[in-house]
Amino acid sequence: MKLAFSTLGVPGLPISDVVRLAATHGFHGVELRTHPEEPVHTGLDATARADVTAEFKTAGVEILGLAGYVRVAAPGDDEPVIAELRELLLLARDLGAPFIRVFPGGDSGQSPEEADAVAARRLGTAAEYAADLGVRILLETHDSHRTGADAIRVLGAVGHLQVGALWDVMHTWLGGEQPSASYAALSPFLGYVQVKDIASADDTSPLPLGAGVLPLTECVDLLSREGWDGWLCWEYEKRWYEGAAPLEGLLGAGHDYLSRLLNDAA
């Protein structure tokens, strides 16, 4: 498995510094939070996109994916959502990123069946466009579709190889789903896995990997046993928790922790 970290943990950090941190601490790749307050967003012109690509290529670090904020099950018209998806897919194509992340984003006013149908319809529409660009859309286990069982209701209805799953181990755990059940549901669709650690279900402030309650050892053991050889991406949610320790000082130990889990599971 390859190791990456998300720039959610280093909000606003220039790309040159992001690349340096990845290379210094042995990470193979980086997931880029894609938002107007970050260095990478859909408003970048062609020159800026080429500059970002060159920074990563020179350092030998991969862009794992773009973590966007499209909410595919959200109420409203389809076209603005599809347009936002297309912009994110084009940016990924230009940067050479194989994946984009989207959220479910269903609303409490929707029934589960309605949210599933809306998400599946939009993802199905975007799938052909994604295929033309060589980018895969990944639905994260999050918010209205927190578990693997939730996500596959949508992914099964889409039925397109260009649309898959991003397994966020915190959200499936918070949803009461065992890692074995999450993997069983998501494995046919799995793009990559986000790891993190927290103190409890009531305190989701980010902690160093291994310092909290999430079943990271169990997840890595399971993935290894099943022969899965994709990416583990550390999503340290510093952007949402200002009091959290800076990620820069934790990256080395985090890389070592994940490497130990992988070695022990081998």
In the prediction, which pLDDT does 246 show? 98
In the prediction, which pLDDT does 49 show? 98
- pLDDT digits 0-9 by tens, 67-88: 999 999 999 999 999 999 999 9
In the prediction, which pLDDT does 138 show? 98
What CA dihedral angle connects 244, 245, 247 and 252, to 10 degrees?
-140
- pLDDT digits 0-9 by tens, 195-233: 999 999 999 999 999 999 999 999 999 999 999 999 999
**Summary count for the chain: helices (H), strands (E):** 9, 8
Nearest in space to 171 (alpha carbons), one of 206, 147, 138, 187: 147
In the prediction, which pLDDT does 114 show? 98
In the prediction, which pLDDT does 260 show? 97
pTM exceeds 0.85? yes
Spatial neighbors of 229 by CB under 8 A, at least 6 apart, are: 1
Nearest in space to 233 (alpha carbons), one of 188, 185, 186, 195: 195
- pLDDT digits 0-9 by tens, 4-21: 999 999 999 999 999 999
The answer to whether 136 and 164 are in contact (CB under 8 A) is: yes
Spatial neighbors of 255 by CB under 8 A, at least 6 apart, are: 3, 25, 26, 27
Phi, psi of 232 (to 5 degrees): -110, 125
Q: What is the DSSP letter of 194?
A: E
- pLDDT digits 0-9 by tens, 101-152: 999 999 999 999 999 999 999 999 999 999 999 999 999 999 999 999 999 9
What percent of the chain stands above pLDDT 70?
Answer: 100
